[in-house]
Structure 1
Amino acid sequence: MSTLNLGFLASHGGSSMRAIVAAIASGELDGRARIVIGNNGDAPALQFAKQQAIPFRHISARTAGSEQAADTAIARALKDGGAEWVVMSGYLRKLGPATLEAYRGRIINIHPALLPKFGGQGMYGRNVHEAVIAAGETVSGATIHFVDEEYDHGAIIAQREVPVLPGDTVDDLQQRITQAEPAFFVEVLKSLAKS
């Protein structure tokens, strides 16, 4: 069993990151939060990192000068921070080649649907749940997968089903899946630490 040295990428609140950090603090997960990187300087995820004394950086195309420079800076910050695995916690930017190459097979994302259905560009947040309900699905859920060059495309690690109930609104379904995601992410990381 190995300690997971984790780097986090977040654009907003980073709810999965918060659950993972809590699991580390309680001893449930053998890991270390090495760095949090956000592309949005006002992201609550960065405030959380500051409160928890986790090193954090705001890196975006605007702060770095270009998408390519941001990609290089992200890869360097993760490496310099000691991250061996990268967890995307609501990170809404496509990763660049430097980061993908440096962490190939070690970047993990959670998607709020059962891939390969309802994935791809623009499929995040409410958009996913609207599409699931419009399609008349009776089951949705969350997928944890490796990240590659395409949105929501990398190899699936695990899936957790969540029912779509008759009369569900987009908000109902989103809330049910959002509640299931953090514990599911922690479970998957625990299994990766054992392998």
Structure 2
Amino acid sequence: MPKLRVGVLVSHNGSNLRALHLVSLQIDAQFEIVAVISNNSGSLGLAYARENEIPTRHLSGKPHPIPTNSTTPSAPCSSSTRSTWSSRPAI
């Protein structure tokens, strides 16, 4: 059976990411971490992912305002949302 491919959201220290990553490295693990995403470019979780060659993405931490004419509880992020993607550790 193929492993479940998991993306992890982190905001600061990445303690949950570290725990999940250690479990994912066990021979009988049923999942693998394939991406780490954060809204904090200085997150220790992103640094940990890069150190362990897990692809990372930083999404802008800038809030996205809800348009005044919106009738839904939350509006989708605009296409101008800034993000960066890295598939290898930073040097």
Mapped to 2, the partners of 1:45 and 1:8 lie a distance apart of: 10
Mapped to 2, the partners of 1:25 and 1:73 lie a distance apart of: 32
- SS of residue in 2 equivalent to 1:45: helix
Q: CA deviation at 1:73?
A: 7.6
Mapped to 2, the partners of 1:42 and 1:48 lie a distance apart of: 11
Q: CA deviation at 1:31?
A: 1.5
- SS of residue in 2 equivalent to 1:18: helix
Q: Give the corresponding residue for 1:69.
A: 78
Q: Give the corresponding residue for 1:7.
A: 7
Distance 1:12 1:61, change over 3 A: closer
Is the 8 Å Cα contact of residues 61 and 69 (structure 1) preserved in structure 2? no
Mapped to 2, the partners of 1:57 and 1:30 lie a distance apart of: 23
Higher share in helix: 1
| Structure 2 letter corresponding to 1:50 | R
The ranges of structure 1 where at least 4 consecutive aligned residues each deviate by more than 4 angstroms after the TM superposition are none
What whole-Å deviation, never above 9, does each CA across 1:45-101 have from its counterpart, x for those lacking one? Answer: 000000000000110243xx836138x888xx8xxx9xxxxxxxxxxxxxxxxxxxx
Structure 2 spans left out of the alignment, 5+ residues: 66-76
Q: CA deviation at 1:20?
A: 1.2
TM-score (norm 2): 0.65
Q: Give the corresponding residue for 2:74.
A: none
Structure 1 spans left out of the alignment, 5+ residues: 82-195
Q: Give the corresponding residue for 1:45.
A: 45
Percent of aligned pairs with the same amino acid: 30
What whole-Å deviation, never above 9, does each CA across 1:94-121 have from its counterpart, x for those lacking one? Answer: xxxxxxxxxxxxxxxxxxxxxxxxxxxx
Mapped to 2, the partners of 1:6 and 1:73 lie a distance apart of: 23
Distance 1:7 1:73, change over 3 A: farther
| Structure 2 letter corresponding to 1:69 | S
